[in-house]
Amino acid sequence: MGMTMSQKILAAHAGLESVKAGQLINAQLDMVLGNDITSPVAVKEFEKANFPCVKCPERVSMVMDHFTPNKDIKAAEQVKTVRNFAHKYGVENFFDVGEMGIEHALLPEKGLVGAGDLVIGADSHTCTYGALGAFSTGVGSTDMAAGMMSNQCWFKVPAAIKFVLKNKPAKYICGKDIILHIIGLIGVDGALYKSMEFVGDGVQYLSIDDRFTICNMAIEAGAKNGIFPVDDVTREYLNGRFRREIRVYEADPDAEYERTIEVDLSALKPTVAFPHLPENTRTPEAWGEVKIDQVVIGSCTNGHISDLRIAADILRGKHVAKGVRCIVIPATNTIWKQAMHEGLFDVFIDAGAVVSTPTCGPCLGGHMGILAAGERAVATTNRNFVGRMGHVDSEVYLASPYVAAASAVAGKLATPSDIQ
């Protein structure tokens, strides 16, 4: 029996010729990631276990992005704990304010992760790097501590679902609509414990940022990982950036997939996930009148330069509706600078939006845009659980940057066509 892309990467890192779904393996890691929320727990466990050293410090990254710039004293203490640990154990890929960005945009940008890698991260959205042809998955802090000590992790080899993406995406359709559509189709546990492998002629039309968005939200369908094949788009992104050799793993022709789902990208409509689950997706005819108080454009899902360009195209020459707060958060400093040089900040500020320093901030109800009781936000983020962005009685609508920007102008959930 042949192997999927995901299974081939696992087999190679476990030193095995082949693996099959359900098999338990130990595999070598190319990168172990933690952030300012999960690393402190890992550090505590690492020190409690009296581990002598971090086995491969160059294969550890610690990104202070969730509550930074430190939102309060406790957050500052947590970052200090991680900073001291990184210094003591020689972890050079420690990124604090000034060097940091949202982890899942930062690691690819710095060439720390790439094609063929096996990556674990103490952050559920670690699955993002599948966009580059890596096997990449979220774990907890204890797994992170074990990964730092041993440079290994145990895995149960996942079965897979194949998504055949067909045709060119329709106008105003981007990676976010594609993944929301898929989650709506299969549900928040539709890919539980499984790989989501994205193939088909539609892949060629998807930018690397679209692919990041799609793999980023694989976890919202319960998946272990999401992955794209390596093509010219991937190589163009990795060349001159990725610090290791590109390793390409293609699925065998007889690889076993539990399901195959075809998605016609040309037929998709702007898709929004209504509260309080990412699977509650609706297309415009079912939106009704949803008045909003806030718009957030950013996060590990949609804080890339192409997302900011989309938002700026919609907001150019227009103004955010009275009573709506529009917060734009470039995911990294490099993206921030690029957006500034392209004049996107002029567009945002003239439109009445604000531009924040890179941070996960409001996505998880941390800071920089918390909702009060009864308030509603349209956000390009990834989760709309109860209380996710603030008060337990607030609501989050997950959308693409097209819809988020158009909604900011309309003061209610809207498509770009609605505001023209």
Partner 1 sequence: MTVKGTVFRYKSDVDTDVIIPARYLNTTSEQELASHCMEDIDKDFVKKVKKGDIIVAEDNFGCGSSREHAPIAIKASGISLVIANSFARIFYRNSINIGLPILECPEAVKNIKAGDVVSCDLAKGEIVNETTGQTFKAEPFPAFIQNIIDKGGLLKSIQG
Q: Is 24 in the site for partner 1 (CB under 8 A)?
A: yes
Among 11, 54, 67, 401, binds partner 1 (CB under 8 A): 67
Amino acid residing at 66: H
Q: Are 294 and 324 in contact (CB under 8 A)?
A: yes
Binding mask 72-111 for partner 1 (x = CB under 8 A): x-xx--x---------------------------------
Q: Is 10 in the site for partner 1 (CB under 8 A)?
A: no
- Establish how many alpha carbons lie within 13 A of residue 229's alpha carbon, considering only the half-sphere containing its beta carbon: 17
- Site residues (CB under 8 A) for partner 1, limited to 164-203: 188-189, 192-193
Q: Is 222 in the site for partner 1 (CB under 8 A)?
A: yes
Altogether, the residues listed in the chain come to a count of 420
Q: Of the ranges 41-49, 200-208, 262-270, 328-336, which one interacts with partner 1 (CB under 8 A)?
A: 41-49
Q: Is 383 in the site for partner 1 (CB under 8 A)?
A: yes
Of 343 and 374, which has the nearer Cβ to partner 1?
374
Q: Is 359 in the site for partner 1 (CB under 8 A)?
A: no
Please calculate the CA angle 400-284-185 and round it to the nearest 5 degrees.
70
Among 224, 304, 325, 376, binds partner 1 (CB under 8 A): 224
Strand partners, 61: 33, 93
Count of residues engaged in binding partner 1, rule: CB under 8 A: 50
Among 45, 177, 197, 395, binds partner 1 (CB under 8 A): 45
Q: Is 387 in the site for partner 1 (CB under 8 A)?
A: yes
Q: Of the ranges 53-61, 217-225, 325-333, 411-419, which one interacts with partner 1 (CB under 8 A)?
A: 217-225
SS (H, E, C) the chain: CECCHHHHHHHHHHCCCCCCCCCEEEEECCEEEEECCCHHHHHHHHHHCCCCCCCCHHHEEEECCCCCCCCCHHHHHHHHHHHHHHHHHCCCEEECCCCCECHHHHHHHCCCCCCCCEEEECCHHHHHHHHHCCEEEECCHHHHHHHHHHCEEEEECCCEEEEEEECCCCCCCCHHHHHHHHHHHHCCCCCCCCEEEEECHHHHHCCHHHHHHHHHHHHHHCCCEEECCCCHHHHHHHCCCCCCCCCCCCCCCCECCCEEEEEEHHHCCCCEECCCCCCCEECHHHCCCCECCEEEECHHHHCCHHHHHHHHHHHCCCCCCCCCEEEECCCEHHHHHHHHHCCHHHHHHHCCCEECCCCCHHHHCCCCCCECCCCEEEECCCCCCCCCCECCCCEEEECCHHHHHHHHHHCECCCHHHHC
- Site residues (CB under 8 A) for partner 1, limited to 127-146: 138-143, 145-146
Q: Is 283 in the site for partner 1 (CB under 8 A)?
A: no
Q: Of the ranges 5-13, 119-127, 248-256, 338-346, which one interacts with partner 1 (CB under 8 A)?
A: 119-127
Q: Is 126 in the site for partner 1 (CB under 8 A)?
A: yes
Report in angstroms how near the CB of residue 50 gets to partner 1 at its nearest. 9
Q: Is 358 in the site for partner 1 (CB under 8 A)?
A: no
Report in angstroms how near the CB of residue 96 gets to partner 1 at its nearest. 16
Q: Is 58 in the site for partner 1 (CB under 8 A)?
A: no
Of 9 and 146, which has the nearer Cβ to partner 1?
146
Of 19 and 145, which has the nearer Cβ to partner 1?
145
Of 73 and 286, which has the nearer Cβ to partner 1?
73
Among 28, 44, 97, 418, binds partner 1 (CB under 8 A): 44
Q: Which two tokens stand for residue 205?
A: 């039309």
Of 44 and 235, which has the nearer Cβ to partner 1?
44
User: Which residues contact partner 1 by CB under 8 A?
Assistant: 24, 37-38, 40-41, 44-46, 48-49, 66-67, 71-72, 74-75, 78, 121-124, 126, 138-143, 145-146, 149-150, 154, 188-189, 192-193, 219, 222, 224, 277, 364-366, 383, 385-388, 392
